[in-house]
Amino acid sequence: MRFETTFERFRAAAAALRRDRDGSVSMEYGLVGTLVSVAIISALSSTTSGLGDKWNSVANTINSFLR
């Protein structure tokens, strides 16, 4: 019985990962999901300042009527 060194086990695991293609599809879906979420967040953050100004205007109008 031969004892493997840590490096040999690492090389064997890396070779197995190179041959395994099952995880590549899930990795691609993860990357696409990340890009979509970044696009949504950037679109929402660009409209937030305009929306904040509108809500502040509405709040100021309501406050002026209440006084």
Q: Kindly state the tokens that stand for 3.
A: 């004892």
- pLDDT at position 34 is 92
SS3 22: helix
d(CA 54, CA 27): 41
d(CA 19, CA 16): 5
Residue 58 has pLDDT above 80, yes or no: yes
Sign of CA dihedral 15, 16, 19, 22: negative
Residue 54 has pLDDT above 70, yes or no: yes
> At 44, is the pLDDT very low, low, confident or very high (cuts 50, 70, 90)?
confident
Q: Kindly state the tokens that stand for 20.
A: 């395994």
> At 32, is the pLDDT very low, low, confident or very high (cuts 50, 70, 90)?
very high
